[in-house]
Structure 1
Amino acid sequence: MMRDRKLTGAWAGFSFKSGRLVTPEGRELLPEDLAWLSLLAAQAQEWRRLMETSQARQKRPFGRAVIIDLAEAIRRRARRSPE
């Protein structure tokens, strides 16, 4: 186990303190806090890839954007659907 060590290079700002990984913002993470880190990183990478693909295919800018209240849309759909 690494104890009280500052990391360098691409990891500069991170450190180990009493068996915890400390972020540059000072947040201390236990090993069990990192259990889902790989999945989160994979999701972020996939999102980035999808956005890059979408932007590459986009030839003209979108028109006016519309914000949809998801909860309201679900309520409206439920009212229209026969039970």
Structure 2
Amino acid sequence: MKVIKELEAVEVPDAIHPRRRLVVLLHDDGNFTAAEEYYYVSEYEGEIIAEGWQRHPPSGLYATAEIAEREARAAFRQRHRLAG
């Protein structure tokens, strides 16, 4: 799958990984899906050894990127209890 759009990162009420974003993905078959990503920082003895975005498994299968994004945004707001 290829990332075709990264949405702006937002802060959600999560104690471990509050920085989240959505990505819209293009399947090899031409359909679209979306996935949530969280930003992580791994430290060892006070030194950062790794950081970056980790993706949750994608969900849904849509005919267009716009539909995938719209559905992902709605699910994201509901999952994190954010105002619409």
Same fold flag (TM > 0.5): no
Larger strand percent: 2
Larger helix percent: 1
Q: Give the number of the structure with larger relative contact order, counting CA–CA contacts within 8 Å between residues 6 or more apart.
A: 2
Whichever of the two has the greater Rg, that structure is 1
State the TM-score, normalized to the length of structure 2.
Answer: 0.29
